[in-house]
Amino acid sequence: MSPAGIRYEKSALTGGSGCNNEAELHALCLALDIAFAAGARRLALRGDSDVAVRYVRGPESTRIARLVVLVAQARERIRDFEDVQLLWVPRHRNVDADRLSRQALGLPTPPLKPAKGRRRSR
């Protein structure tokens, strides 16, 4: 969400194949492109992909060639900003991102589960 309260959502079929980590890295690069084009120079991105967040923040990396290229692209895009914070959040706390990623894969969105309440013992 932008400082002005504008929320941007983007989901698109990739038309190819790949793993979830590859899709998450593509999404991160696209989010960086959209934020930069919108004029953002300081950014906080939250994602539920531990691999994408950990590898792009560094210093860890991977030997999977397709992912190495995408990690490098994301790191290059980050250099365009004054400050970027990449924050990992658990998937169950990131339902909007999960919904968008399922759309990009052409998968149905699972029904929402009712919130679990805490019972007080007497």
pLDDT tens digits for 25-65?
988 999 999 999 989 999 998 888 888 899 999 888 888 89
Mean pLDDT of 78-99: 86
Residue 77 lies in a domain: yes
pLDDT of 1:
66
Under DSSP, the state recorded for 58 is: S
Residue 114 lies in a domain: no
Domain that holds residue 99: 20-104
Residue 118 lies in a domain: no
Contact (Cβ atoms closer than 8 angstroms) between residue 18 and residue 66: yes
Question: pLDDT confidence of 116, banded at 50, 70, 90?
Answer: low
Task: Give the H/E segment covering residue 4.
Answer: none
Is the model's pLDDT at 120 over the cut of 60? no
Q: Distance between CA atoms of 23 and 48, rounded to whole angstroms?
A: 12
Is the model's pLDDT at 86 over the cut of 90? yes
What CATH number is attached to the domain comprising 33?
Answer: 3.30.420.10
Mean pLDDT of the chain: 82
For the chain, the domain total comes to 1
Residue 89 lies in a domain: yes
Residue 24 lies in a domain: yes
Residue 115 lies in a domain: no
The percentage of the chain sitting over the pLDDT mark of 90, rounded to a whole number, equals 30
Residue 122 lies in a domain: no
Q: Distance between CA atoms of 89 and 46, rounded to whole angstroms?
A: 6
Is the model's pLDDT at 18 over the cut of 60? yes
